[in-house]
Structure 1
Amino acid sequence: MAVTTLAAPRSAGRRIGRPVLVAAVLLAWVVLWIPVHGMHTLGLSPADLTPLHRWLNDVNDTVGANRDSSPVFLYFFNEIRAAIDALVTFLQDLIAQPSYGRPVPVLGWLGVVALVAYVSWVFGNWRVALLAAGGFVLLGLQGLWTESMDTLALTLAAVAISLLVGIPLGVWAGLSDRFHRLITPALDFMQTMPTFVYLAPLTLLFLIGPASATIATLIYAMPPAIRLTAHGIRSVHPSAVEATESLGATGRQKLFKVLLPLSKRTIVLGVNQTIMAALSMVTIAALIDAPGLGKSVVKALQTLDVGTAFNAGLAIVVLAIVLDRVTTAAGDRVRRTGPSSRLRRPLVALLGILAAACCYMSYTYVWAAEFPDTYRIGGAISRGADTVTVWAQDHLFAVTDAVKNLVTYALLNPLQALLTESPWWLVAAVAVLLAALIGGVRAAVVTAACLALLIGTGLWQDAMTTLAMTIVATLLVMLLGIVLGVWMGRNRHVDRIVRPVLDAGQTMPAFVYLVPFVALFAATRFTAIVAAVVFAAPVAIKIVADGVRGIPATTVEAATAAGSSTWQLITKVQLPMARRSLTLAANQGLIYVLSMVVVGGLVGAGALGYDVVAGFSQSQLYGKGLAAGAAIVLLGIMLDRIARASSPSNTRKGH
């Protein structure tokens, strides 16, 4: 008993001491900055190239010169590019573009709508079929039928390849612990790495066009298929496997008769998440000449055409909603058991004949192939978005300018000065110390390695500028996450109202809301921060809300019965008990913010994002852009490991 009594205060002291030590390190940093700022900052002028950048430029030039003569390209990379191009072109010719000299595609709008509605009914229900048909008709009414079908063709090609490769790998990971341990870090890297970063290497190997866009999309979309397939197989109850083995089933029989059927629902969820991830890459892939709606959004961003960007972005959201509901309904049908209705088989045949007739008409008649111009509403949608933007510029400028100046001068500028004007060794020492205090020795080692590699990229100044913007954006994300997340977690009605808005924020391509933000705030660092907050806040808010809602009702009732006020209940009970969710929200907020760095480079953020974008457009800066992409990955790894190591579960393990 005496040992227990003495140990408790010591443990409590350690918990109290950590924030004090962190504050002391930060205070010492600020004090040291005053006499030493501007010294040893590793600054380079924008035109300077390091030996690493020049070497990467030489690699790019060598690859370009030997592309048509090297056996590696002739018989490997070029063949892969040709095969993927052929697949995308086939799908485009089928639903979007003219084929065999015809003025219309093989399947016109009526055939596509009928086929989509039929498939939605077969795998879902009549409500999903009506939603799918209505959604695809809306695409035509927006005047974006061809662009939408190009996007759908690219998405289907990427998803098909992702599932063709991802599901077998997921099965392997589900069956083999060794392979599961081996592939998990690779999947973490694929999901953590900002999507822009691997665009440059892909264009080096496969040139710009549908092949590179498809490969970039499947790199981002494949991890959910692998993870969820493996999770489904590993979640099968051991008793079912043991019963099969006791009957003498072979490994093949066990897989196809037990494991895959029992994990079918989870695998369908993986298909759903793969489709959503593929659609989220549509606009980004447009930067390397991907066909479809992404091109419309990028062009609108370049001309600040808010209406066109919103109309195209709405079409992407409609596609996402339809595909999400169809795959979700398919998962629900897989979950249901029991005999189907006697009328279902005749209805399947009858509606199949009707869909085939619509496909034939869309192939034969122009009115069923080309969506009519008479009822298009895309112009009205664009004009409405333009009107709202002009009104906001006229009436909200004072508010938006005040908010921009407050964040810029009170948060961003001081933090950026602290990071960029401090000697590199001081920043590195502070970062390693903070990592050790927050996350332990392992986090400190990872931080030291990442900082050393950052110095090696020759982009220390740009990396520190990006880090400053990332920290400010993450602070704003967590502020919104805590305020709205607690509100949603405590009030079901608020949750039902706010959650669809959060879903739209996650689904809408970042380029779409960049356009009105540029119109409101001009092309500045703050614009990039706002775009990152809009992109990252929904996931943080949802995680905090779920954490608050997961607190046992008996605990809340006991605190209320003890006389706690609402403020005391939130600050003394709900937030402390949801600490793990808060840590996860901060981790995910950091990663999502960092994934917007390159997008921010397009709207005045500069730093690493601009370096990556410049590497795409200027061949002499290709090496610098590639190094900037590596620097973004290093920042992501460093921040991610510190945030993960600071979680309550890891902290307890450390003690």
Structure 2
Amino acid sequence: MTATATDPEAAPRRVEPGAPPPVEAEAHLSRWIPASAVVVAWIVVWSFTEGTDTLPLPGVARTELHDSFTEFQNWLLAGRDTNPVMQVTNAIAEFFRSWVDWLQRMVVKPNLPRPVPEIGWLGVVALATYVGLAIASWRIAILVCASFLSFGVLGFWQDSLDLLIITGIAVTMVVVIGMPLAVLIGTHAGANRVVTVFLDLMQTMPTFVYLLPIVLFFGIGTSAAVVATLIYALPPLIRIAGFGIREVPETTIEATDSAGQTYWQRLLKVQVPMARKTIIVGLNQTTLAALSMATLAAFVDGPGLGQPVLDALRINDVGAAVVPGALIVVMAVMLDRTTTAASERAEKVARGGGGDPRVRRVLLLVGAAATLVAVYLSRTYVTLAEFPTYSIGDRIGSAVGDGVDWFTDTFGELTGAFKDAITNALLNPMQSLLAESPWYVSFAAISALAFVFGGARALVSTLVCLAGIYYLDLWHDAMITLTMTMVATVLVMALALVFGVWMARDRRVDLGIRPVLDAGQTIPPFVYLIPVLALFGPSRFTAIVAAIVYAAPAAIKLVADGVKGVSPTTIEAGRSTGQTTWQEIVKVQLPMARGSLVLATNQGLLYVLSMTVIGGLVGAGALGFDVVYGFSRSEAWGKGLAAGLAIVLLGIMLDRITRAAADVRRDDGPGTRRAFHIRLPIGPPH
């Protein structure tokens, strides 16, 4: 990520030897002074008008608009057999359902009259291990083998394979659909501009919002799970693979053109091979996104490990949720490491490395023979077909449940005091200002702040999004959700500044913390609720903490990389003037890394917002509860849809404000102007 000067006439101001570089302090203050004035005016107006025209919609109340959405759903469902669109979606749903059923009969469920799966557990483990060996290395093969065995030993063999089946089918379809689109945007600038708009919208949209319309058109169960996972996992592959193809050096392309190659020869022999590593990185991100969404598909009766986690969360049983939650993490780590190792191996082979090919061929032949034997045995002996029943998972869950009970009994007052302190100091005051002001006051104040920080472009997006939220009859709930999002983002950025600067200034700290952050980013968001629920119980604060834990790794890494990227020459110039460590951080490193801070804030906001509906499961209320309520009650489907759309509008508004803020011109000082143009990735990367 770099700052690019776009004003060719503007020459950088000369910096005297030993003097620290300008830090754009004037422009920094010029944006915060009017912002502070807006907030002060807002508080003054709120103090006289609190509780007036807040457009409250308490509890499960619905409006005519919400009921009209529900009536539209009922009309579509009534015409499922005659509506051409519904007939197409029914055919697609049946295709995916039959595909999942066939795979389940092969490796999970008995295929009557055969009392066991076609390929038993030993054969499945052997096949998975061999795939790890073939595409990566023997180390990855051991990891895959251990992961699959843990699925059975801990008592969730069938649920684990169901989750892998949904994820695998979705990723396969993503490759079939996504790679042609990636090639299209990688080779045509016009197509890239058009497709990127849709990708931005899809990646800004929180995960749960996908589920409501998908249930309408594809029903519930395996087909809805596959379609939701497919749609959610599609953007990362298209965006990243397209970027890799587009970044092939122009000189290389010109050389192939001069040799007389056709379009397809250039694409298949030059562009795709040179972008291989980037394409596999895109596949890695797509696979993790698919696993995350396939887990959440438990809300639409999708099979897999999400079901036992959801059942446990509904009854607030942390012990029952911890083992399937841990297995989701194991699966995420296995898939992440396997695809990453496959990328590294592909790069080594392309460069002529990868070890002795003869040794590898022998190893693969021996592995193939052992795999065939294991598959035969699993089809012959019942004990090698059905995984033996173990109670170790139940014992671990019971032990964790007892530990949670002890912890809450011992430290309940301490965690409660911490929760009350944050709630009273940050959450309640901000919620009162946003949600208890007259709606038109909040509308005007948010719009003014958008203009101050992002200019006219951010103002237009904000006006459109706020108008949409008002139209959806969920203004009050949207303001409460916005409050929780802002509070969580403030705390995320506080953590990001502390740990990011620490990592940037101390290489040993970076080496110690970064693997933890990398691991944290592979965990699906659903899993974060389990330990936080154990600590704080069901409440809106629990949802905020879960969102902070989920969003912090990405923000911390962005801040660390930005601060680390500040020129050493600049830092040395500041030290030569006698600056203290604190002055160096706040007057040089952080101002010079402001682009990274804006990017971290953007990603933190979107990560936090993506946890809105998940937080609705543990007492967050507001829009998250509205969506969950719409899932659980058919008569409230319209309100759930409206809440999902409101979350999308909030996400677009916050994204556009932070993106516009990153692009706003800042003054270096008299006679000098500099513009920062930073392409912000949209949405939580998995």
Q: Smaller-chain TM-score range?
A: over 0.9
Query: Aligned partner of 1:31: which letter?
Result: V
The answer (yes or no) to whether the contact 2:542–2:615 under 8 Å persists in 1 is: yes
Q: CA deviation at 1:608?
A: 0.7
- SS of aligned partner of 2:155: coil
Q: Which has the higher contact order (CA 8 A, sep 6+)?
A: 2
Residue 367 of structure 1 corresponds to 383
Q: 1:35 to 1:447 in 2, by over 3 A?
A: same
Q: Contact 2:240/2:282 (CA < 8 Å) preserved in 1?
A: yes
Instruction: Show the counterpart of 1:354.
Output: 370
Task: Report what 1:40 is aligned to.
Answer: 53
Contact 1:481 1:540 in 2 (8 A): yes
Question: Aligned partners of 2:276, 2:12: CA distance in 1, in Å?
Answer: 50
Corresponding residue for residue 88 of structure 1: 100
Distance 1:87 1:55 in 2: 35
In 1, Cα distance between equivalents of 2:12 and 2:192: 41
Structure 2: stretches of 5+ with no match in the other structure: 1-10, 14-20, 667-673, 678-686
Contact 1:313 1:508 in 2 (8 A): no
Q: What is the CA distance between 1:372 and its match in structure 2?
A: 2.5
Deviation at 1:272, TM superposition (A): 1.1
Measure how far apart 1:386 and its partner are.
Answer: 2.1
From 169, 173, 179, the counterpart of 1:157: 169
TM-superposed deviation, 1:357: 1.2
Tell me, in whole angstroms, the C-alpha distance in 2 between the residues paired with 1:20 and 1:51.
43
User: Which residue pairs with 1:456 in the alignment?
Assistant: 471
Match of 1:206 among 197, 215, 218: 218
Counterpart selection for 2:489 from 460, 474, 488: 474
Question: Cα distance 1:654–1:341, how it changes in 2: closer, same or farther (>3 A)?
Answer: closer
Which one-letter code corresponds to 1:26 in the other structure? V
C-alpha distance in 2, partners of 1:298/1:332? 36
1:165 Cα deviation from its structure 2 partner: 0.3
Query: Mean Cα displacement is larger for which, 285-294 or 380-389?
Result: 380-389
Q: Indicate the RMSD between aligned Cα atoms, in angstroms.
A: 2.1
Return the alpha-carbon distance in structure 1 between the equivalents of residues 213 and 308 of structure 2: 24
Work out the CA distance in 2 between the residues paired with 1:284 and 1:394: 31
Deviation for aligned residue 1:16: 2.2
Output the CA distance in 2 between the equivalents of 1:511 and 1:96.
Answer: 24
* Contact kept in structure 2, 1:473 and 1:532, CA below 8 Å: yes
Candidates 191, 195, 199, aligned match of 2:207: 195
Structure 1 residue 351, shift from structure 2 partner:
1.7
Match of 2:137?
125
Quote how far apart the aligned CAs of 1:342 are.
2.2
3-state DSSP of counterpart to 2:502: helix
Secondary structure at the aligned position of 1:342 is classed as: helix
SS class of match (2:53): coil
> What is the match of residue 7 of structure 2?
none
Map 1:405-444 → 2, pairs under 5 A:
405-444=420-459
- Inter-CA distance 638–243: structure 2 relative to 1 (3 Å threshold): same
TM-score, scaled relative to structure 1? 0.95
1:618 positional shift: 1.1
Deviation at 1:65, TM superposition (A): 1.1
Residue number in structure 1 paired with 2:62? 49
Whether contact under 8 Å (2:336, 2:522) holds in the other structure is no
Give the match's secondary structure for 1:646.
helix
Q: Which residue of 2 aligns with 1:240?
A: 252
Partner residue of 1:605? 620
Q: Secondary structure at the match of 1:647?
A: helix
- Taking a change above 3 Å as real, the CA distance of residues 55 and 235 of structure 1, as seen in their structure-2 partners, is same
Tell me if the contact between 1:314 and 1:508 (Cα under 8 Å) persists in the aligned partners: no
Contact conserved, 2:132 with 2:338, CA < 8 A, in 1?
A: yes
> Which residue is 1:343 aligned to?
359
CA shift digits 1:171-217 (9 cap, x unpaired): 11111111110000111111110111121111010111111111111
Q: Please tell me whether residue 552 in structure 1 is matched to residue 567 in structure 2.
A: yes
Q: Does 1:230 align with 2:256?
A: no
Separation in structure 1 between the aligned mates of residue 630 and residue 434 of structure 2, nearest angstrom: 25
Q: Which runs of 5+ in 1 are unaligned?
A: none
CA–CA distance in structure 2, aligned partners of residues 122 and 444 of structure 1: 53
2:352 partner amino acid = G
In the alignment, what sits opposite 2:514?
499
Matches within 5 A, 1:440-589: 440-589=455-604
**Percent identity of the aligned residues?**
50
Listed one character per residue, the Cα deviations across residues 474-502 of structure 1 (whole Å, up to 9, x for unaligned) are 11111111111112222222223323333
Deviation of the 1:401 alpha carbon: 0.8
User: Are the equivalent residues in 2 in contact too, given 1:42–1:424 (CA < 8 A)?
Assistant: yes
Q: Normalising to structure 2: TM-score of the pair?
A: 0.91
SS state at 1:373 partner: coil
C-alpha deviation, 1:47, in angstroms: 4.7
Aligned match of 2:38: 25
Q: Aligned AA for 2:273?
A: P
Cross-structure match for 1:284: 296
Separation in structure 1 between the aligned mates of residue 643 and residue 386 of structure 2, nearest angstrom? 45
Shift of 1:71: 3.3
Quick check: 1:621 aligned with 2:636? Answer: yes
Q: 1:389–1:516: 8 Å Cα contact kept in structure 2? A: no
